[in-house]
Amino acid sequence: MDLFDKCKVELADRTIEAGIYPYFHELESRQGPVVTMEGKRRIMLGSNNYLGLTSHPRVIEAGVRAIEKYGSGCSGSRFLNGTLDLHIELERELADFLEKESCMTFSTGFQSNLGIISAITGRGDYIFCDKENHASIYDGCKLSYAKTIRFNHSDMEHLEAALQSVTADSGKLIVTDGVFSMGGDICKLPEIVELAQKYNARVMVDDAHGFGVLGRGGRGTADYFGLTDKVDIIMGTFSKSLASLGGYMVADKRVVHYVRHTSRPFIFCASITPSNCATAIEALHILKEQPELVDKLSALSSYMRQGLLARDIKIRDSITPIIPIYTYEEMRTVRKAMELYNEGVYVNPVLPPATPPGESLLRTSYMATLTTELLDEALDIIERVVKAD
């Protein structure tokens, strides 16, 4: 068998043949509430730009100033020639904002999970992973060589049984998304923390979709539950609420120091570019100054959720700006996504393995810069398209 014989993507090929291929649409404008994609106006209901800061004048200006001062890149790892004073400033401010001792940054959010999990755990350790965790968590588990035990989504009885199944003196890490990226639901963090204390495990929360969304002034899932001091590691990303690119980890100083010196994805990767660093810092400043952005995002998300329910459209209940619309069957999901796109609303079709089989969905997500008028327009289009045969 030739190595390339496997280079077939059956579902993608079928959607291309049917003229409903839903991926790689070309964006021709800034990522705002209304965008231009492939020459047409679309209401953007598929962005993770939760606070709408990617187009904020101050964020853009900060990026331009950083390029003018530092150039376009660092050309090396943080370990060697790639540490700027901007990296130190960003880490210091994030640690302070999230009320942890120390912070370190990674070049992407995906890389953050690879780097943290593979450094903290190893052979002889156990990772307890929610089945709906992000793919980067799963890949971090693989890279670690620890034994990974998956527990059913938010099933605390299953998690406890898994914890009971391993030796008491083994190293144990429970990893969970704070806000699950597809369903928009929040992890059962109080129960997870309680089980971690009972079975001598550590807790790591991936707060990529919780930062800027939950907690006091957007401090995230742990803060939302009042459990910041009980969560050992919080990971997040700059590509969502902080309007940039990169990722971070906050934890006790000794843990961050250890990961800095043992994480291969950190040590052997070039550092965040100056502009990415500066834009994340400025976005954080805006969030600190305008915590009402978090409340506005919550209100708009609630408005959309109520509008969908009033139209008898099946969604998963939550309080976050991620609202999945269930379409179940794969080809139907892709077709509905394309029909919405053609009608002027952009959403993300999500298919297995990102969802369980038979639970394909249209992932909608919201920004604080949207308006109720735009949401009403989108609701009318969604109702017409989703309910049609």
Quick one: three-class SS letters along 78-133? CCCCCCCHHHHHHHHHHHHHCCCCEEEEECCHHHHHHHHHHHHCCCCCEEEEECCC
Return the exposure string of 1-40: e unless at least 16 CB atoms fall within 10 Å of the residue's CB, then b. Answer: eeeeeeeeeeeeeebeeeebbbeeeeeeeebbbbbebeee
Closest CA to 144 of 106, 165, 113: 113
| Rounded-to-10 torsion of CA 20, 380, 346, 135 | -90
Half-sphere exposure of residue 46: CA atoms within 13 angstroms, side-chain side: 23
**Catalytic residue positions, numbered:** 181, 209, 240
Strand partners, 44: 346
Note whether 221 and 235 are within 8 A (CB). no
Between CA 168 and CA 280 the distance in angstroms is 41
Between CA 106 and CA 101 the distance in angstroms is 17
